[in-house]
Amino acid sequence: MSGVLSVEDVQDEQVEGQGQSELIISSSNLTQLNDLLSRVSYTSTVYHIKTSDLVIFSFEDHLAMFPITIKRQSVPVLFDPGNDINSQVTIITKTFLRYEELNILLNSIRKFYPKIKILIADDSIQPRTVSGDNIEHYIMPPAKGWFAGRNLALSQVETKYFLWVDDDFVFLKDTRIESFVEIMEAVPELDILGGSVIGDPPYFILEYDEGDEEEGGCLSRIYNQFHQPLPGFDDCVLVDGVVNYFLARTDAVRRVGFDPFLKRVAHSEFFMDGLGQLLVASCERFTIGHQGHRFEKKYSHYRTQTDADKRKKLSHHFFKNYLKYVKF
């Protein structure tokens, strides 16, 4: 045991081993014995920011074990709750060689949200200038990657929430950020709330079996299945992952982050890393448009995974997530 036990305000003949790892309490009176037990305290003698210990209690033929959590107090990190949507939410996106689509997205945002801050991470080969009121354009090394760009954009968010959108989305009259915030404020334990992108499955669950120490686990993604309805919002469901249109708590997503190893194609991998750490829900009625796909040879060259890329990516997950099988 990495701590000591003691009983406060007690006579020496009633307790043996004060301030030691083994404590013997004796009394001929059951009420007095219960009172002594109620004043037993545990003090850790080993510094650690987060660990645990086990205290064993025995009485005649009875045995009970109590887990003890040892945790260093942390200082709260709070975000200004804001007083309107512009001070509550930042819109972030990552772009690469798609300035035509990006401009359509920006114009659609400004049609409905003329003052909201927009952050753009850009790793295009030959970056172009993107400007406008309350728009911040961050230039990255060329082709640095999809998740590296997400990390960059996220690192600059100063609001409580951020809304992630792809650079080829388009805001519609039904694209209302306020609806996301309303639910996130009503359910404070919720970390991510996704909407729906026209033409894409809105959500999925992850089936995970951790397997054994020798071979690792198995993980599968299953679209259009959910765990249960979100309490209080029957048209929303609790899931493990959502599409690339979601509102999230800035601090919660920063704790998980985006794996910068994933450069070309990645999405579910973030939710894999956040499994068991992020509470995720989806509301299909929150919609956003998807621009028509425009073939661009250079973009397709960088975007398309080769067989070698796929093998390298799988090997990465087999090691990092300790898996022997993964199905996206």
Instruction: Encode pLDDT of 138-155 as tens digits.
Output: 999 999 999 999 999 999
- Tell me what the mean pLDDT of segment 261-265 comes to: 87
Cβ–Cβ under 8 Å, residues 106 and 118: yes
Residue 204: its H or E element: strand 203-212
pLDDT number for residue 12: 64
Average of per-residue pLDDT across 266-286:
95
Confidence of residue 274 (pLDDT cuts 50, 70, 90): very high
Helices and strands (DSSP H and E) totals, the chain: 9, 20
CA angle at residue 137 from 134 to 140, to 5 degrees? 160
pLDDT, position 285: 94
- The single-letter DSSP state of residue 101 is H
Residue bearing the bigger pLDDT, 41 or 14: 41
Decide: pTM greater than 0.85. Answer: yes
For residues 313-318, average pLDDT: 91
Structure tokens at 244: 């690339």
Q: In the 8-state DSSP scheme, what is residue 12? A: G
The three-state secondary structure class of 281 is strand
Could you tell me the pLDDT band of residue 194, with boundaries at 50, 70 and 90?
very high
Provide φ and ψ at 301, rounded to 5°: -60, -45
pLDDT of residue 122: 97
Residue 214: the pLDDT is 86
Percent of the chain whose pLDDT exceeds 90: 73
Average pLDDT, the chain: 92
pLDDT classification of 310: cutoffs 50, 70, 90: confident
pLDDT of 305 reads: 79
Q: Considering only 45-59, 169-183, 261-275, 298-312, which range has the smallest mean pLDDT?
A: 298-312
pLDDT tens digits, residue range 55-88? 999 988 899 999 999 999 999 888 888 889 999 9
Mean per-residue pLDDT for 236-245? 97
Is the model's pLDDT at 184 over the cut of 70? Answer: yes
Long-range CB contacts (within 8 A, 24+) of 227-234: 230/183, 230/187, 230/190, 230/281, 230/283, 231/187, 232/186, 232/187, 233/183, 233/186, 233/187, 233/281, 233/283
Mean pLDDT of 276-286: 97
| 53/65 Cα distance (integer angstroms) | 10
For range 201-224, the mean pLDDT = 93
236 pLDDT higher than 70:
yes
Residue 67 CA neighbour count, 13 Å, CB half: 4
Give 319 or 81, the one with higher predicted confidence: 319
